[in-house]
Amino acid sequence: MKKKVFQLLVDNTSGVLTRISGLFARRGYNIESITAGTTTDPNYTRITIVASGDDVILEQIEKQLSKLIDVRDIRELEPEESVYRELALVKVEAGEKERENIMSIANIFRANIIDVNPDSLIIEITGNQSKVDALLKMLEGKKILELARTGIAGLGRGTDKVVNLDDLKD
Amino acid sequence: MNGAEAIVKCLLEEKVDIIYGYSGVAIAPFYDAVGETDIKQVLIRTEQNAAHCASGYARISGKVGVCAVTSGPGATNLITGIATAYADSIPLVCITGQVNSELIGSDVFQEADITGAAESFVKYSYLIRDVNDIPRIFKEAFHIASTGRKGPVLIDIPIDIQQAEIRKFAYPEKVEMRTYKPTVEGNAAQVKKVVKEVAKAKRPIICVGGGVHLSGAMAEIRRFVKDNCIPVVSTMMGIGVMASEDPYYFGMVGNNGRPYANRALNESDLLLMVGARVADRAVNRPDLITENKVLIHIDVDPAEIGKNVGPTIPLVGDIKHIFKKINEYEDEVDLIHERTEWINTLKKYKAEMIEKRPVIDTEKFVDPKSFLQTLSRKLPSDAIYIADVGQNQIWSCRWHLVRNGRFLTSGGMGTMGYSIPAAIGAKMADSQKKVVAVMGDGAFQMSMMELSTMRQYGTNVSVIVFNNGYLGMVREYQHYALDDRYNMVELHNTPKLDKIAEAYDMKYLRASSQKEAEALINEIAKKDECVLCEVVVDPLDLAK
């Protein structure tokens, strides 16, 4: 199994997310994460999808997504030419005794503590997926009460492959 | 002008002359506007069949088939018809009425999220929110349905939008969709590569699929075959691209196909897949197909290429355009001797491997093989033949001889009950042609209500029911795979077909022996009339 990150520019229509997620569901493709948000032009949404599968499946995913009429642009974000970031919020059980220790772990990862309660705290971490995974690994042994990961958002590096939104217009 | 009138104007712009459908309050304004025009309205008896009718009409006329039904159950009933068309890439525009815009999402009477429900079976769908979008949306819908890989497009229209006044009606002259630009012309370099590879092949073969019909490329393919001396096999949807008795044609491939067609495919050194998906029913192990041969895959849908099998040379584009280009290369074929030998080998395989049929008691039953062979010889050579789904479909694929007519069936979805409504659509598309629908007693009972539609509109179709009191195809599966444990396949109390014919006020003929079968065929083959034929076949007969 390989992973690929796809960046899509799609029409911001109602139902566009259903069309995309429905395609993955009915064809049995694996979707690891999907994030979506509007671009500087509210007519378009940028979506980052992390998908997994063998080469044939990954090629089919790209082809089938390209066929969707709402999809205006699709490209692979290759690791060496792109940056990925994910946000994760981790609520950890932390009484007085453990608080210091957890905070120092968070510090190592340059993560922020954004909420503190007598018996828990919430860590906010941003980074690529492996950084988030590494933090979670360090927290093994602590009691994670709740975890919310956004899935990654990504962009290609540099200006070579920037899609001008005005060029997308019909 | 209100929304409904605007829609009808769009349909007139698209030269729509017939609409299949079912009425209801949520679509009433639309039909009210249709009534003011010369567009023919055909009221079917259940919505699913509106889509099948439109499908039969589209396949014969080459135009986009149109159906329109009401909201809620009307729309959901349509889904199987839409899915059937989608699986066979048949161009349809399906219009559904919807509840008042403001009420959408509140579960009011006859509300269904049809664009959501049909999502995976449509090429695209629209829910119209603004009456002023109607001209653009219809222009796009007909464009999407009829270009590239064809397919159904759904348009859902709330009743208030049908009633709202449109500011100004202007039908767009052309469609500009940045995200939808199907490739028509094949890449010139790839075309050249194909020509070069074909020239080198000693044992080439072409496998034609439904895409050849959809592209209207029959003449181009036939010319290519002759010019290059290349044998042809077909998928189920590709039947009729070549006449059945053409010396270059070696039958249908696949599980239910001819063993010698499969052998030809396997022993070829070059395979041209043309407008075929390499689906499971046609090619059992697509991963093995490229082991000993060059595979050239030509399809208008780039996603089909490489989906089931990785080709040596992919070529995306419209088949008619591509073969016109290929045919322009007029090099002499050097390997004509090898190819003639190859064809002779295939002829030998055909003679050796032709299936042996169990002997049928022809005093008690009609033998489907000789029935279908005799029927197809007696029919006008350009007859339109529609096979349903089940054993009748497999028999039809094997023994109906296509000359210069058409062979239609629900190949991808395998929807039982397809044949009667599709025959109605086909006959309405070309009333001069003889139209025959062949089905089993199972499929017949799924759409026999449409006999009433046939009578209402004077649509002359020969309806032939192979009656064996079983869902024969499944019974056959249970015979081979489940030690003859027959569950859910016995059809008892099938209504007496003579009484059905009488109830629908149509002619009835019956044959339960070979002799009667011949008389029946002679009676119906040339006549343009509405007739229900009951042909009694052996319940234990097998298609394989």
Q: What is the dihedral of CA B444, B446, B452, B456, to 10 degrees?
A: -100
Confidence label for B179 from pLDDT (cuts 50, 70 and 90): confident
Distance from CA of B179 to the nearest CA of A (A): 5
Chain A contact for B177, CB < 8 A? Answer: yes
Confidence label for A169 from pLDDT (cuts 50, 70 and 90): confident
Question: Which residues from B are below 8 Å from A14, CB to CB?
Answer: 127
Class of domain B368-536: alpha beta
**Contact between chains at B310 and A56 (C-beta distance less than 8 A):** yes
> B306 versus B216: which is more confidently predicted?
B216
- Residue A17, SS3 per DSSP: helix
Residue B178 has its nearest CB partner, among A19, A60, A72, at A72
Question: Which residues from A are below 8 Å from B314, CB to CB?
Answer: none
Q: What is the DSSP letter of B133?
A: G
- Right CATH number for A2-76 from 3.40.50.300, 3.40.630.30, 3.30.56.10, 3.30.70.260? 3.30.70.260
Pick the residue of A21, A24, A41, A56 with the most B CBs within 10 A to test the interface with B by mutation: A56
The pLDDT assigned to A166 comes to 84
The pLDDT assigned to A167 comes to 81
List pLDDT tens digits, range A110-162: 999 999 999 999 999 999 989 999 999 999 999 999 999 999 999 999 988 88
Residue A69 has its nearest CB partner, among B116, B180, B302, at B180
What is the arithmetic mean of pLDDT over B274-297?
Answer: 84
User: Quick one: B3-163 is in which CATH superfamily?
Assistant: Thiamin diphosphate (ThDP)-binding fold, Pyr/PP domains (3.40.50.970)
The pLDDT assigned to A130 comes to 92
Residue A101: CB atoms within 10 A of its CB come to 11
Question: Which residues from A are below 8 Å from B114, CB to CB?
Answer: none
Give the 3-state secondary structure percentages of chain B, helix then strand then coil, rounded to 5. Answer: 40, 15, 40
What would the CATH number be for the domain defined by A84-153?
3.30.70.1150
The pLDDT assigned to B306 comes to 84
**Contact between chains at A56 and B124 (C-beta distance less than 8 A):** no
pLDDT above 80: residue B350: yes
The pLDDT assigned to A160 comes to 81
Distance from CA of A78 to the nearest CA of B (A): 22
Spatial distance between the Cα atoms of B22 and B529, rounded to a whole number of angstroms = 26
**Contact between chains at B303 and A66 (C-beta distance less than 8 A):** yes
Pick the residue of B98, B179, B287, B308 with the most A CBs within 10 A to test the interface with A by mutation: B179
List pLDDT tens digits, range A14-54: 889 999 999 999 899 999 999 999 999 999 999 999 999 99
- Residues in CB range of B392: below 8 A, 6 or more apart: B368, B438, B439, B440, B443, B466, B472
List pLDDT tens digits, range B82-94: 999 999 999 999 9
Chain A contact for B122, CB < 8 A? Answer: no
List pLDDT tens digits, range B35-71: 999 999 999 999 999 999 999 999 999 999 999 999 9
List pLDDT tens digits, range B472-505: 999 999 999 999 999 999 999 999 999 999 999 9
What is the arithmetic mean of pLDDT over A61-65?
Answer: 95
Cβ atoms of B88 and B389 closer than 8 Å = no
Report which of B137, B173, B177 is spatially closest to residue B157, judged by C-alpha positions.
B137
The pLDDT assigned to B205 comes to 97
Residue A63 has its nearest CB partner, among B144, B176, B302, at B302
The pLDDT assigned to B210 comes to 97
- Residue B513, SS3 per DSSP: coil
The pLDDT assigned to B354 comes to 87
> For chain B, which residues make up each domain, given as ranges?
3-163, 188-353, 368-536
Mean pLDDT of chain B: 95
What is the arithmetic mean of pLDDT over B311-331?
Answer: 92
Question: Which residues from A are below 8 Å from B120, CB to CB?
Answer: 22, 26
Residue A26 has its nearest CB partner, among B120, B124, B301, at B120
Which helix (DSSP H) or strand (DSSP E) does residue B401 occupy? none
Residue A69 has its nearest CB partner, among B120, B179, B301, at B179
Chain A contact for B247, CB < 8 A? Answer: no
Q: Three-state SS across B406-443?
A: EEEECCCCCCCCCHHHHHHHHHHHCCCCCEEEEEEHHH
The pLDDT assigned to B71 comes to 98
In this structure, whether the domain defined by B188-353 belongs to CATH 3.90.1310.10 is answered with no
Cβ atoms of B494 and B448 closer than 8 Å = no
**Contact between chains at B301 and A67 (C-beta distance less than 8 A):** yes
pLDDT above 90: residue B173: yes
Confidence label for B176 from pLDDT (cuts 50, 70 and 90): confident
What is the arithmetic mean of pLDDT over A2-23?
Answer: 92
Tokens of B297: 């895959």
Pick the residue of A11, A29, A67 with the most B CBs within 10 A to test the interface with B by mutation: A67
Quick one: CA dihedral B357, B358, B361, B367, positive or negative? Answer: negative
Fold matches, B3-163 and B188-353: yes
> For chain A, which residues make up each domain, given as ranges?
2-76, 84-153
CA-based nearest residue in chain B for residue A61: B303
Distance from CA of A54 to the nearest CA of B (A): 12
Spatial distance between the Cα atoms of B151 and B148, rounded to a whole number of angstroms = 9
Question: Which residues from A are below 8 Å from B180, CB to CB?
Answer: 69
Cβ atoms of B26 and B114 closer than 8 Å = no
Chain A contact for B285, CB < 8 A? Answer: no
The pLDDT assigned to B283 comes to 81
Distance from CA of B61 to the nearest CA of A (A): 27
CA-based nearest residue in chain B for residue A166: B178
List pLDDT tens digits, range B504-539: 999 999 999 999 999 999 999 989 999 999 999 999
List pLDDT tens digits, range B104-158: 999 999 999 999 999 999 999 999 999 999 999 999 999 999 999 999 999 999 9
Confidence label for A13 from pLDDT (cuts 50, 70 and 90): confident
Spatial distance between the Cα atoms of B72 and B99, rounded to a whole number of angstroms = 8
The pLDDT assigned to B440 comes to 98
Question: Which residues from B are below 8 Å from A69, CB to CB?
Answer: 123-124, 144, 177, 179-180
